[in-house]
Chains A and B, each alone.
Chain A
Amino acid sequence: DIQMTQSQSSLSASVGDRVTITCQASQSIGMYLNWYQQKPGKAPKILIYAASSLQTGVPTRFSGSGSGTDFTLTISSLQPEDFATYFCQQTYNTPRTFGQGTRVEIK
């Protein structure tokens, strides 16, 4: 299985901050990397697919980058509604695997 590692289990930030969340794959996965946002009691929501493509309807303050083994999700200016947990996921092969999540908390 491909292991996905999010090195930050949590981070604290303020509204308006630029936030960067990282994800590393245990082997090269090209651009087969997705980012999801999950709020408490809710299902995950797709934000970014194919490493850098913004899902329709997702605010442009979210962006993704990277390829191969190292990926980044950036929130350019954190908004109150962005406090949530973010997961990366590889779809290079099955089994699909997720990172353990990065919780973005209010500073």
Chain B
Amino acid sequence: QVQLQESGPGLVKPSGTLSLTCAVSGGSISSTKWWSWVRQPPGKGLEWIGEIYHSGRTNYNPSLKSRVTISVDKSKNEFSLKLSSVTAADTALYYCAREGSSSTNLSYYYAMDVWGQGTTVTVSS
């Protein structure tokens, strides 16, 4: 079964760039799925950051779009997140997730069916 594992620095300085990688095991990143990043500030709810398809097509949250880049490395079976100009407000638990689809009544429905365990990133000097 597919498993996801986030990795990257746990501490980033203000104005710096947050960089995380999500390794995909047990399956191919080139499958017909979207690969997502979601974050959760301490004690708060979930915020969708964006997603990428293996072709390189991306969708970003407009609230973060100017600072976010999501990329895919098919040779390594992984995808990555870069968030620039970080502030304390970017301190959060960052998850990578797979968005799968199911067909019901001739429509395709999407859900994040596989998640990584999450990695905490703190923005502090």
Contact = CB atoms under 8 A, between A and B. Distances in A.
Interface of A: 1, 30-32, 34, 36, 42-46, 49-50, 53, 55, 87, 89, 91, 94-101
B45 interface: yes
A97 B111 contact: no
Interface string B97-112: 1010010100101111
Nearest to B96: A43
Is the contact region of chain A dominated by helix, strand, or loop, or is it mixed? Answer: loop
Chain B contact residues: helix, strand, loop or mixed = strand
B45 A99 contact: yes
8 contacts: A30-B107, A36-B112, A42-B117, A43-B117, A46-B112, A49-B109, A89-B46, A98-B46
A103 B16 CA distance: 34
How extensive is the interface on chain B, given as a class? Answer: 20 to 34
Nearest to B111: A49
Contact of A31 (B50, B109, B117, B118): B109
B64 to A, nearest CB: 9
Contacts of B115: 43-45
Contact of A87 (B46, B102, B109): B46
Contacts of A46: 111-113
Given A1-B62, A43-B118, A50-B104, A91 B45 contact: no
Given A43-B95, A43-B116, A50-B104, A91 B110 contact: yes
B94 to A, nearest CB: 11
B47 interface: yes
Given A49-B102, A49-B111, A96-B51, 20 more contacts: A31-B109, A34-B112, A43-B115, A44-B115, A45-B115, A46-B113, A49-B110, A50-B104, A53-B102, A55-B111, A89-B46, A89-B111, A89-B112, A91-B109, A94-B61, A95-B63, A96-B48, A98-B45, A99-B45, A101-B46
